[in-house]
Amino acid sequence: MKSRFTKYTLILAFVFAGLQASAQCAMCRAALETNEQGIQPESVNDGIVYLMVFPYLLVAVVGYAVYRLRKKSVAKKEEAQV
């Protein structure tokens, strides 16, 4: 049962990952539609990618910290057993 659920979840994830997404926030859409200030779409996309990096960095740092703490904990347990 569990493997069936995992299998279908992975299939759905790959199907939805292949769909093209064209969503943006209302402020970005309004800025690009008016385009009076000379804002180029590439600049808005670069800004979105720039803002998207920070959550990934945060998750990476927290994951590394957890990894180090677990590794240190295992080393202490092995040292105590010897």
Closest by CA position to 44, among listed 55, 29, 60: 29
Residue of 38 and 60 predicted with greater confidence: 60
pTM here?
0.51
Each residue of 4-21: pLDDT tens digit?
A: 788 888 888 877 776 665
List CB contacts of 44: < 8 A, sequence separation 6 or more. 24, 28, 31, 32
- How do the domains of the chain map onto residue ranges? 2-81
Which pLDDT does position 66 carry in this prediction? Answer: 96
